[in-house]
Structure formats: structure tokens, C-alpha cells
């Protein structure tokens, strides 16, 4: 079970911040930036991983060069919100790599999904062959993105800690 943030010190926070910016940083360079020995820095990173603060590492890819520059957000309303319908929908959504993110929402609809694809034609295919085939879907509203202003996966880490 992950420890609480109160157990992190300023060096842990700095390590997490540096790794968010550059997951490929060498352990030696990381150690220099936090004023620790390489062994101590590696031990800290391993503890942060073991405690669940670091979930993994992945490359940030260029969607434009990979023909995935068209972004659409889709509101999805289910016909019912019973536990079995919600579970069936959730189990189905995770099977599709076309769906980059899916969030259960409180309010006028049930889920918000984010899709990246090549163009509107591909989105129409995804909408008909995937979204409308998901269990319990009653209604969808699509919002194609005109321009991405900010798209970050970085967490805002606390600046004041023991």
C-alpha cells in the first residue's frame, strides 16, 4: 500500500519532479541534481517505485508524426447506471487502444472519453464500430478539438514539504 505524501521529504519530491520531466535521466545525473550519492539516489527511486509513487516509464510520442493528431472528446450517456451496466461498459472500454482516456463523470452524462486518430473519417469509423457498440450506450456527444493549447500528464507536486 502506498505511503502518504506526508512521509515524503523535499528530496523525494525533487526526484519525482525531475523524473516527470526526464524519465531517461541517468542515475548519476539525478544524484547530482539532488545532492546525493548515486547509490542513495537509486535507493530513493526504488523506494518511490515500491511505495507506488512511480507507476512506470513511457515515451511521449509525437502524434502529428504518427498520424494521430485529431483529438475528439466524447460524452457518453448510458441507458442505465446500474452496477452491472457500469462494469460492463468499463470492462469493454479498456479493450480499445483507440480510447486514450475514459473518466466516469458526475453530472449530465456518465463518461467522458478522449480519442486520438488521423482525421474525422477515422473518428466516424471509431464512433460507429467502437463507441456505439459499447455496452449500455444510449447517447453520445462528440467534441472535435480545434487546437491543443496544453496537454500535460505531469502532476503538480507540493513545493512545501518537510
CATH number of the domain within which 100 lies: 3.30.70.920
Query: Is residue 80 domain-shared with residue 21, that is, in the same domain?
Result: no
Task: Using pLDDT thresholds of 50, 70 and 90, give the confidence band for residue 158.
Answer: confident
The answer to whether residue 118 scores a pLDDT higher than 80 is: yes
Percent of all residues in the chain with a pLDDT value above 90, rounded to a whole number: 90
Asked if 27 and 74 sit in the same domain, the reply is: no
Residue 40 carries which DSSP code? H
Query: Is residue 129 in a domain?
Result: yes
Query: Which tens digits make up the pLDDT trace of 60-87?
Result: 999 999 999 999 999 999 999 999 999 9
* Residue ranges making up the domain that contains 137: 70-144
pLDDT tens digits, one per residue of 14-48: 999 999 999 999 999 999 999 999 999 999 999 99
- pTM of the predicted protein model: 0.85
In a domain, 157, yes or no: no
In which band, very low, low, confident or very high, does the pLDDT at 159 lie, cut at 50, 70 and 90? confident
Query: Is 107 found in the same domain as 44?
Result: no
Same domain, 80 and 139: yes
The total number of structural domains that make up the chain? 2
DSSP letters for 125-147: HHHHHTGGGSTTEEEEEEEE-S-
| Closest to 60 in 3D by CA, of 21, 27, 113 | 21
Distance of CA 68 to the CA centre of its chain: 17
- The answer on 41 and 74 residing in a single domain is no
pLDDT confidence tier of residue 2, bands split at 50, 70 and 90:
very low
C-alpha angle 134-71-155 in degrees, rounded to nearest 5: 95
Q: Are 76 and 149 in contact (CB under 8 A)?
A: no
Has residue 23 been placed in a domain?
yes
Lowest mean pLDDT of 89-93, 114-118, 145-149, 155-159, name the range: 155-159
pLDDT of residue 5: 64
Percentages of the chain per state (helix, strand, coil), in multiples of 5: 35, 20, 45
CATH code where residue 39 lies = 1.10.10.10
Residues 80 and 14 in one domain: no
Amino acid at each position: 500500500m502506498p505511503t502518504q505524501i506526508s512521509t515524503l521529504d523535499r528530496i523525494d519530491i525533487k526526484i519525482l519532479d525531475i523524473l516527470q520531466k526526464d524519465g531517461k535521466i541517468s542515475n548519476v545525473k539525478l544524484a547530482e541534481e539532488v545532492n546525493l550519492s548515486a547509490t542513495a539516489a537509486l535507493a530513493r527511486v526504488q523506494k518511490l517505485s515500491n511505495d507506488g509513487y512511480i507507476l512506470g516509464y513511457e515515451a511521449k510520442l509525437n502524434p502529428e508524426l504518427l498520424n494521430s493528431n485529431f483529438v475528439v472528446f466524447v460524452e457518453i450517456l448510458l441507458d442505465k447506471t446500474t452496477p452491472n451496466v457500469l462494469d460492463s461498459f468499463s470492462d469493454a472500454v479498456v479493450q480499445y487502444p483507440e480510447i486514450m482516456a475514459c473518466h466516469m463523470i458526475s453530472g449530465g452524462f456518465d463518461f467522458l472519453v478522449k480519442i486520438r486518430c488521423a482525421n474525422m473519417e477515422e473518428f466516424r469509423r471509431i464512433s460507429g464500430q467502437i463507441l456505439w457498440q459499447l455496452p449500455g450506450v444510449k447517447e453520445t456527444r462528440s467534441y472535435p478539438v480545434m487546437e491543443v493549447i496544453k496537454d500535460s500528464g505531469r502532476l503538480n507536486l507540493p513545493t512545501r514539504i518537510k
